[in-house]
Chains A and B, each alone.
Chain A
Amino acid sequence: MDLTTLLQAVVTGVLTAGIYALVAIGLTLIFGVVRIVNFAQGEFVMLGMYASYALWKVLGLDPYLSLLVTMPLLFVVGVLVQRWLFQPILHAPDLAQIFMTVGLSILLMNAALFFFTADFRSVKTPYAEAALRGWGLVVPLPRLYAFVGAIVLAGLLTVFLGKTDVGKALRAVAQDREMAMLLGINPWRMYMLAVGLGAALAGAAGSLIVPFFYVFPTVGVVFGLIAFVVVILGTLGSIQGALLAALVVGVAESLGTLFAGADLGLVVVFVILVVSLVVRPSGLMSRA
C-alpha cells in the first residue's frame, strides 16, 4: 500500500464528507428545533435527486442550476410534512414519532419506485469525467463541485442562523420553546421553517451528487443511515459537530473501503456508530 493510494482514499473521503455533512445538518436542524428524529431524511435526498434528474431529462437543466428549483421544492415538502404529519404527534411517545417517519420513508421510497420504476438512472454532464490531477491524486470535478456546494450551503446556513433575526429566532426555539414564545416568537412557524430547511438541505445534497451518482428509489437509505451516524457522533443539534463528524465518517468509510473491501465500507461506519454510542453517547460536542 503506498502513500498515494492512502492519500487518495483520504481525499475521496473528505469530498464525500461534504455531502454527508449537508444531509446531517438538515437532520440535526430538524431534531434541534422540533425534537423529531427524521428517519425519512435520506428520502428527501432521493427526492432531490429525482427532481434534478427529471429537470435534466425534460428541460436539459444542469443539475447545479436545478438547485434553484429543487431546494424550494423540498422546502415546501418539508413545511407540509411538519404541518400535516409531525405537528399532530409532537407530544406523542417516541414510538409514534419514530414510526411516523419510518412510514414516511417507506411511502416516499415506494412512491419513487411506482412513478419512476426501479431502473437506475443517471444524468450525463459534459464535465462528468473531468478531474484535477496532481501528485498522483485524482480529484473528480463533479465531486469537488459537490463538496464546494455543500460547504457553501452549510456556510450560508450558519450565517443565517447566527446573523439574521429569523435564524436567531430559530435557535431560540431550539433552546427553550416556552421562553421563545414569551418573546413573541411563533414556534409553529419556526418548526415549519426548520423542517423546510432540513428537507431543502437534503434535497440540495441530492442535486449536488446527481452528476456522479446513480438515481434509484432506495438510494436514500444509505444517506439516511450515514447521516444518523454523523449526527449522533457530532451530537444531536450541533452543526459544527455534524461537520466534524462528517469528516471522520467520510474518511473512515473511505479508508474502510480501501482496507476491508467495498462491501464492508459501511460496516466501518456502523462500527463508528457503536463505538461512539458506547464511549460518548452524547457526541463529540457534548459537555458531559
Chain B
Amino acid sequence: MSAVGTPHRYVPLAFLAFLLVLPHLLPNAFYVHILVTMAIFAVLGSAWNLIGGYAGQLSLGHAAFFGTGAYVSTLLVNRYGISPWLTLGVGGLAALLLSVPIGRICFRLQGPYFAIATIGLGEALRMLVLHYREITNGAQGLTVPFKGNAPWQLQFDSKLPYYYIALAMAVAMVLLARWMERTRLGHYLRAIGQDQGAAEAVGIDSARAKARALALSAFATGAAGVFYAQYTYVIHPDSVFSLGMSVQIALVAIVGGVGTAMGPVLGAIIMEVFVQSTQVAFQGEYPGLELMVYGGLLVAVIRWCPRGVIPWVSRAYGAVIGRLPALVRRPVPA
C-alpha cells in the first residue's frame, strides 16, 4: 500500500510542487520578492512557535536572535570575507549562545512577566548595538559588500535562488516542528505550556526542556537573520533588533495558530498578503494607516478568535481531504 497515495500525503506534496513552480508563473520579480518575504516569516514564525506556541512562553524579544544572526554574519563577511553559507551556521550558533543566558534569566518567570522580560532584554540589546558604534557602526547599520552574482557568497542576480533557499528553510522548519511533536521534547513542551507545575509533578525538567526549545528556536531565528542580511544587503538596529520585528515574528505564529506545524506558514501568508494589499490600497500615501489597520485587525482577530485562524482552516482542510479520492486502491482485506 502506498502511503503517498492517500490524500493526507499527496495534497501537501502537491502543494510543495506548486510552490516550486510558482515563481515561474508570476509576472515579475516583485511577486517573487513577496514570496521570499513570506518564506522568511514562515521560518521566523515556525522558530518562534517552538518556544512560544508549543511551550507557551510568549517571547517578545526574538528580534535579539534575528539581529544577532544578521550582525554576526555580516561582520564576518565584511571583515574576513567568510562565505555566508558558513556564517548561516555561525550566526545561528551565536544566537543559540545568546539564548542560554536569556533563557536562564527569563524562564523563571511566567506569562506576562516572561513577555516583559524578553521585551526588556531585546530592547537593551538593541540599545547596546546602537551604542557600541566602533563595532556595529551604530544607527547607520552594516552593508553586505555587493558582489553581483556570486553563489558562493550567497548573492544572486535573480530573486529565484533566494526564494528556493528560503523555501527550503521553511520546509525544514515545518518538518522539524512535525518531527518534534512526536518526540519526548515536543510532548514535554506542550505539557509545560499547559501547566508547568503539573508537568514538573510528572517528572518533567521544565527548565531544561525550555532551554532546549529556546536554543533550537534561537538557532533557526539567527540563521534566518543571516539570510535576511544577504537578501536585503543592508541591516540596522532599528530593523533587525526592533521590538516591532519581535512583535511581527510572534504575530505570524499567533495569527496562523500557535502550537501547530503549519500555523506559522499560514500566518506568514496571511500577514504578507495583508501588508501588501494595504500597501497597494493606500499606496504609501498615508503613513500609519496601514499599521493602524494592522493593529485594528490584530485586536479584532484576538477578540473573535483568540486561538488564531488555523482551527477554522484545519477544519476546512480536513473536510476537503476527506472528500478527495485515494490515488492507489487499498487492498481489500480478505
Contact B289 A114 (CB under 8 A): yes
User: Is there a chain A Cβ closer than 8 Å to B168's Cβ?
Assistant: no
Known: A95-B254, A99-B254, A232-B113. A270 touches B288 (CB 8 A): no
Q: Which A residues are CB-close (under 8 A) to B124?
A: 266-267, 270-271
Q: Which B residues are CB-close (under 8 A) to A72?
A: none
Interface SS of chain B: helix
Partner of B127, one of A93, A229, A267: A267
User: Is there a chain A Cβ closer than 8 Å to B80's Cβ?
Assistant: no
Contact A104 B295 (CB under 8 A): yes
Contact A277 B247 (CB under 8 A): no
Residues of chain A in range 30-72 having any CB-CB distance to chain B below 8 Å: 37
Q: Which A residues are CB-close (under 8 A) to B247?
A: 102, 106
User: Is there a chain A Cβ closer than 8 Å to B4's Cβ?
Assistant: no
User: Is there a chain A Cβ closer than 8 Å to B100's Cβ?
Assistant: no
Contact A274 B121 (CB under 8 A): yes
Contact B251 A111 (CB under 8 A): no
CA distance A281 to B110 in the complex (A): 10
Smallest CB separation, B280 vs chain A (Å): 17
What is the 8 Å Cβ interface bit string for chain B, positions 185-205, against chain A (1 contact, 0 not)? 000000000000000000000
CA distance A105 to B302 in the complex (A): 14
Q: Which A residues are CB-close (under 8 A) to B289?
A: 110, 114
Contact A277 B298 (CB under 8 A): no
Partner of B291, one of A89, A92, A106, A117: A106
Number of interface residues of A (CB under 8 A): 47
Count of A-B contacts judged by CB separation below 8 Å: 137
Contact A94 B111 (CB under 8 A): yes
User: Is there a chain B Cβ closer than 8 Å to A155's Cβ?
Assistant: no
Smallest CB separation, A89 vs chain B (Å): 6
Q: Which B residues are CB-close (under 8 A) to A100?
A: 298-299, 302-303
User: Is there a chain A Cβ closer than 8 Å to B108's Cβ?
Assistant: yes
Partner of B108, one of A113, A271, A277: A277
User: Is there a chain B Cβ closer than 8 Å to A103's Cβ?
Assistant: yes
Q: Which A residues are CB-close (under 8 A) to B250?
A: 99
Residues of chain A in range 254-287 having any CB-CB distance to chain B below 8 Å: 261, 263-264, 266-267, 270-271, 273-274, 277-278, 281
Smallest CB separation, B150 vs chain A (Å): 36
Residues of chain B in range 266-287 having any CB-CB distance to chain A below 8 Å: 286-287
Contact B113 A118 (CB under 8 A): no
Contact A232 B287 (CB under 8 A): no
Chain B residue, CB-CB nearest to A95: B58
Known: A92-B306, A96-B306, A114-B286. A103 touches B295 (CB 8 A): yes
User: Is there a chain A Cβ closer than 8 Å to B69's Cβ?
Assistant: no
User: Is there a chain A Cβ closer than 8 Å to B120's Cβ?
Assistant: yes
Q: Which B residues are CB-close (under 8 A) to A37?
A: 112, 115-116
CA distance A266 to B122 in the complex (A): 12
Known: A94-B112, A111-B292, A274-B121. A261 touches B302 (CB 8 A): no
Known: A217-B288, A263-B127. A225 touches B117 (CB 8 A): no
Q: Which B residues are CB-close (under 8 A) to A114?
A: 286-289, 292
CA distance A277 to B287 in the complex (A): 38
Q: Which of B58, B120, B121, B291 has the most CB of A within 10 A?
A: B120
User: Is there a chain A Cβ closer than 8 Å to B313's Cβ?
Assistant: no
Q: Which of A95, A107, A261 has the most CB of B within 10 A?
A: A95
User: Is there a chain A Cβ closer than 8 Å to B258's Cβ?
Assistant: yes
User: Is there a chain B Cβ closer than 8 Å to A6's Cβ?
Assistant: no
User: Is there a chain B Cβ closer than 8 Å to A126's Cβ?
Assistant: no
Contact A273 B116 (CB under 8 A): yes
Smallest CB separation, B264 vs chain A (Å): 14
Chain B residue, CB-CB nearest to A275: B105
User: Is there a chain A Cβ closer than 8 Å to B109's Cβ?
Assistant: yes
Residues of chain B in range 291-334 having any CB-CB distance to chain A below 8 Å: 291-292, 294-299, 301-303, 306
CA distance A113 to B243 in the complex (A): 18
Contact A110 B288 (CB under 8 A): yes
User: Is there a chain A Cβ closer than 8 Å to B119's Cβ?
Assistant: yes
Contact B254 A108 (CB under 8 A): no
Known: A103-B299, A106-B298, A270-B120. A278 touches B115 (CB 8 A): no
User: Is there a chain A Cβ closer than 8 Å to B128's Cβ?
Assistant: yes
CA distance A99 to B112 in the complex (A): 10
Smallest CB separation, B251 vs chain A (Å): 7
CA distance A190 to B31 in the complex (A): 51
Contact A112 B296 (CB under 8 A): no
Smallest CB separation, B65 vs chain A (Å): 17
Q: Which of B124, B243, B296, B297 has the most CB of A within 10 A?
A: B124
Contact A264 B287 (CB under 8 A): no
Q: Which A residues are CB-close (under 8 A) to B290?
A: 110
Q: Which B residues are CB-close (under 8 A) to A191?
A: none
Q: Mark B residues whose CB is within 8 Å of A.
A: 56, 58, 60, 105-106, 108-109, 111-113, 115-117, 119-121, 123-124, 127-128, 130-131, 243, 247, 250-251, 254, 258, 286-292, 294-299, 301-303, 306
A-B residue pairs in contact (CB < 8 Å), sample of 6: A94-B111, A99-B250, A225-B120, A232-B116, A281-B109, A281-B113
* Known A263-B127, A267-B127; further 16 A-B contacts with Cβ < 8 A: A88-B303, A93-B56, A94-B112, A95-B258, A103-B297, A103-B301, A106-B295, A107-B298, A110-B289, A113-B287, A217-B288, A225-B120, A228-B119, A263-B131, A266-B124, A270-B120
